[in-house]
Amino acid sequence: MTMRDGEKPAVHGSLFVVSAPSGGGKRTVLRKVLDRDGKAEYGVSATTRPPRPGEVEGQDYFFLSQDEFQRRIKAGEFVEWADVHGNLYGTLRSELKRVTASGRDVFLELDVQGMRNLRNAGIDAVSIFIMPPSLDALEARLRGRGTNDERDIAVRMRNAEAELDARKEFDYVVINDDVDTAVADVEAIVRARRLESARQP
Ligand code: 5GP
């Protein structure tokens, strides 16, 4: 789902959309990139998924009830939203505005539908797909996390196979075999984008 025409946010910084199959390790990579980069920030999504242990409201996600999420869809508060693994996730217009108003770059962590919805809405974003080295590695990571039950892991693995196929639609693909290399790769993409943006007066 996307925003209506004429409602595109005034983005001053660049927008980076990062997708990866669940368990692809994108959180770890993004955290490291953002820790070292003073000019970029993480855009916090809203979700109806219950918080995992240690997750903080407003920092990891804005945790909303089904009713509240639906109310906000109707009120047009989302730039995009999607049903991912049976829960709703979305990017709040207010969150995008908060970051871009400061002129900083924003990193959004979206599923593939979210990337497509932004693209179809004509929103300019650099899209990065983070690949696990293999499906086996992905499953091992999901199990290692210890917070997903068997049924959830099966759903996420099925979705992962379809998501891996979608990598062709992204501007860049980063393989997350070694975290430091993946971080350096994402930093190279960010750096290139900033040099490209510098063409504009
Ligand atoms: P998790 O439940 O593991 O935190 O996230 C599950 C998936 O939801 C992730 O793969 C992530 O890319 C996706 N996701 C998180 N926030 C958003 C969002 O705002 N919009 C969309 N479309 N997907 C999101």
pLDDT 10s digits, 130-175 = 988 888 888 888 888 777 788 888 888 888 888 888 999 999 999 9
Indicate whether 51 pLDDT > 90: yes
What number is the average pLDDT over the span 50-73? 96
Other CB atoms within 10 Å distance of the CB of residue 8: 13
Which ligand 1 atom is the nearest neighbour of the CA of 117? 22
- The residue whose CA has the least distance to atom 1 of ligand 1 is 22
Q: 3 falls in which pLDDT band (50, 70, 90)?
A: low
Q: Are 83 and 73 in contact (CB under 8 A)?
A: no
User: What is the pTM assigned to this prediction?
Assistant: 0.84
Which ligand 1 atom is the nearest neighbour of the CA of 19? 12
What order do you get walking across the sheet with 87-92 strand by strand? 61-63, 45-47, 87-92, 78-84
Parallel, antiparallel or unpaired: strands 40-42 and 105-109: parallel
Task: Tell which residue, 82, 68, 176, has the closest CA to residue 120.
Answer: 82
CATH classification at residue 145: 3.40.50.300
- The residue whose CA has the least distance to atom 3 of ligand 1 is 22
Q: How many structural domains comprise the chain?
A: 1
Contacts of 109 (CB under 8 A, 6+ apart): 18, 19, 26, 27, 30, 42, 43, 45
Tokens of 96: 């995008």
Candidate from 84, 95, 107, 148 with most ligand 1 atoms within 8 A of CB, to mutate: 84
Q: How many helices (H) and strands (E) does the chain have?
A: 7, 9
Which ligand 1 atom is the nearest neighbour of the CA of 115? 22
Task: Tell which residue, 195, 201, 194, has the closest CA to residue 39.
Answer: 194
Task: Tell which residue, 164, 188, 186, 155, has the closest CA to residue 24.
Answer: 164
What residues make up the domain containing 156? 4-197
CA 201–ligand 1 middle distance (angstroms): 35
Question: Percentage of residues in the chain with pLDDT exceeding 90?
Answer: 58
